[in-house]
């Protein structure tokens, strides 16, 4: 059997002698703890003051900003406001469409489809009842069946 300084030990044990006497550990006094606590408290206080200053700076910046200026469309040279606007003609020539929604249980599709509707209605402003009709035309499959059932329940 292996020995360590004349004492037998098992193979899995460490060959170093460990001391666990209380005398080898440093002594911490109440005054040391209070000094450390005071330093931590002062650091926290300084951080809070810095945050408050940052919030004040941000508030000053936000109040000093001017609201964005909305440009008015230029008045035609002849003074006729009913003249066709070339931008309106260009925008009407752009064809946008949104994908259909079939009611599949795919969370990403369920989240993306209303966002695409919102973007479309930002581009093409419509009244609420027309938005509902347009969106219902884009439902297919199970979603379309559900929409039909809701309409029939409301009618009765």
Lowest model confidence (mean pLDDT) among 30-34, 80-84, 117-121, 147-151: 80-84
Confidence label for 20 from pLDDT (cuts 50, 70 and 90): low
- pLDDT for 49 equals 86
pLDDT of 81 over the 80 cut: no
For residue range 97-150, what is the model confidence (pLDDT) as tens digits? Answer: 888 888 888 888 888 888 999 888 888 888 888 888 888 899 999 888 988 898
- pLDDT for 39 equals 93
Average pLDDT score over residue span 56-64:
75
Percentage of residues of the chain with pLDDT beyond 70: 69
Name the residue ranges covered by the structural domains of the chain: 28-63, 100-151
Select from 97, 76, 96, 71 the least CA-distant residue to 86. 76
Global confidence as pTM: 0.41
Select from 145, 149, 132, 155 the least CA-distant residue to 102. 145
Report yes or no: 82 and 70 within 8 Å, Cβ to Cβ: no
- pLDDT for 57 equals 79
State the maximum Cα–Cα separation within the chain, in Å, rounded to a whole number.
114
Q: How far is 136 from 148, CA to CA, in rounded Å?
A: 9
Q: How far is 93 from 91, CA to CA, in rounded Å?
A: 5
Q: How far is 107 from 19, CA to CA, in rounded Å?
A: 61
- pLDDT for 3 equals 58
Lowest model confidence (mean pLDDT) among 16-20, 28-32, 97-101, 123-127: 16-20
């Amino acid at each position: 059997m292996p020995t360590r300084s004349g004492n037998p030990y098992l193979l899995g044990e460490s060959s170093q002698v460990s001391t666990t006497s209380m005398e080898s550990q440093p002594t911490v006094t109440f005054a040391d703890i209070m000094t450390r606590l005071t330093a931590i408290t002062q650091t926290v206080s300084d951080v809070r003051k810095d945050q408050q200053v940052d919030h004040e700076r941000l508030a000053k910046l936000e109040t000093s900003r001017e609201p964005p200026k909305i440009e008015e469309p230029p008045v035609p040279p002849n003074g006729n406001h009913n003249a066709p606007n070339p931008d309106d003609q260009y925008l009407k020539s752009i064809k946008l469409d949104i994908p259909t929604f079939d009611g599949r249980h795919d969370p990403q599709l369920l989240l993306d489809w209303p966002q695409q509707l919102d973007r479309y209605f930002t581009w093409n402003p419509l009244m609420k009842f027309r938005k509902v009709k347009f969106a219902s035309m884009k439902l297919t499959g199970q979603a379309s069946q559900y929409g039909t059932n809701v309409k029939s329940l409301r009618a009765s």
